[in-house]
Amino acid sequence: MPVPVVALDIGSYSIKMAQFAAQRPLKLTLLASTRTTPGTVRDGEVLDPLEVAECIKELMAATGVRPGSQVVTSVGGPRVNARAQAFPRMPIARLRQSVVGEAERWMPPPIQNCVVEPQVLGERITEEGTVQDVVVAAAPKSAVNSRIQAIEAARLRCVDVDMESFALLRSLIYTSHRTDLFTKTVAIVRLGDSYSDITIVRRGSYVLSRHLPVAGATFTRAVSQGLNLPPGDAERRKEYNGVAVIERDLPSLSPEEREVSAVMMRAMDDFTHELRLSINYYQTHYQDSAEQTSIDEVLLTGGGSMLPNVDSYLSRALGVPATLVNVFEHLAVDTTEFDPRYTELCAPSCSVAVGLALTPHLGQYQFATDTSIFGVVLEHRQRAS
C-alpha cells in the first residue's frame, strides 16, 4: 500500500491541504484550507515564502500534520506549460536533451532558468518508424523553488512538485465513474482567483493547457470599480449577489443581484472570449483526420466556478454542455470527520489538492489509459543548476 502524502495546493486566494488514507477504497481523511496572506502569491509564484510558510503552519496546527511530513505540491500559472510531442525512439538521457530544445520554442527565454521534464507516454509504429509520445513539461525554476522554500520553511519535506493540470486530470477524470469521459474530448476549465486555465483532454489523454487571464479577481475588480466599493466589500458583494447572466436576464434577478451582475457582464464576456480563443487554437493546431477536434463537454472547477449560474451561462455561450464537477462525488469521505455539506461547498476549490493527494494511489484504478503517466514530476534536483 502506498504511503499517504499530504497534498498542498498553494494558491493566491487560499492554501488547501488534503490527504487520503492508505486503504481501499480510498477515503479522504484530511481536508482543510486557510486564506493566503494577500500579495504573497501571484500568478502562480510564491513572492514571500516565509509568510506563506506561516499560513502553512496554521494549517498544520489545525489538522495535526507533523513537521517532517512528506508533501506533494504543484505549479501553475501563465509561465508553466506542458505539450504533447512525438519524438523518435531514443535513450532517456538523449530525450532529456531533446526536450529542452523543444521547450525553448514555446517557453520564455532563457531556457536555462526553467525546469524541463519529459514523460514518455508510450510508443507507436508509424511509416517513419517507431516514435515515442512524450509530454514535455516546463516551469520557471523560480516558481518551483519558491514553493519548495515555503514548504521547507514550514518544516515539511517536499517530495514531488507536479503540475496543476495533471492534478486536475486525476481528480476530475481518472477517479470519475463516467466512462464516457474516455471517449470524448473534454475541456477542463478552472476558474481561479488570480488566473484561470483550460486543459484539453482527448480520450483520457492530455493534449494541452492554456492560461486564461480572466479570473475571480477580475470580477471583483469589476464590482469594485462599477459600484465604487473597496476591494473587500466588492468581494463580499460578488460572493453574495453575483450571478453569471446576459443582459436580457437581468430583470429576473433581485435588485441586489441585478446591480452586481450588471457590472460583471463585461468581465464574463471577456472570460468566454478567452475560452473561445483557446478552443479555436486547439481546433486549428491539433487538426487530425483521425481525430475530432470539437469539444464535447466542459468540466468546470476552481473557486470562481461557484458563481451562481456560471455553468448554464457557459453552456449557452460556448454551445456545449458545461458541468460543475464535485471532486468528492466518486470518492469515499469519512463522514465522522467531514460534514458532507462542507465537502460539497468546498469541492470546486479543492480539485487540485485532491488530485495531488491521489498521486500515490492511482495505480489501484484500472483504466484504458495508464493513470500514472501524467504524474510529470518537476523535481527540485535541478534547482542548484
Q: Which cell goes with 182? A: 474516455
* Topology adopted by domain 82-135: Dna Ligase; domain 1 (3.30.1490)
Q: Where are the domains of the chain?
A: 1-79+139-175+331-385, 82-135, 177-326
Report whether pLDDT(95) > 90: no
Report whether pLDDT(384) > 70: no
Query: In this predicted structure, what is the pLDDT of residue 65?
Result: 95
92/7 Cα distance (integer angstroms): 29
Report whether pLDDT(235) > 90: yes
The torsion of the CA quartet 251, 253, 254, 257, rounded to 10 degrees, works out to: -110
Tell me yes or no: is domain 1-79+139-175+331-385 CATH 3.30.420.40: yes
**Do 1-79+139-175+331-385 and 177-326 fold alike per CATH?**
yes
Task: For residue 257, give Cα distances in angstroms to 61, 155, 193, 241, 351.
Answer: 38, 45, 21, 5, 28
- What strands, in cross-sheet order, belong to the sheet with 196-202? 114-126, 129-140, 81-88, 205-212, 196-202, 185-191, 297-301, 322-324
pLDDT tens digits for range 1-25:
566 789 999 999 999 999 988 776 7
Mean of per-residue pLDDT scores for the chain: 87
- The dihedral sign for the CA sequence 343, 347, 349, 354: positive
**How much is the average pLDDT of 226-252?**
95
**Kindly report the CA angle at 161 between 383 and 372, in degrees rounded to 5?**
130
Q: Which cell goes with 246? A: 446576459
Query: In this predicted structure, what is the pLDDT of residue 2?
Result: 62
Q: Which cell goes with 321? A: 454542455
**CATH code for residues 177-326:** 3.30.420.40
pLDDT tens digits for range 363-380:
432 233 333 444 444 444
As beta bridge partners, residue 70 has 157
Report whether pLDDT(383) > 50: no
pLDDT tens digits for range 318-359:
999 999 999 888 887 877 778 888 888 888 999 999 999 987
Nearest C-alpha neighbor of 10 from the set 56, 48, 67: 56
pLDDT tens digits for range 107-142:
877 888 888 888 777 788 888 788 888 888 888 889
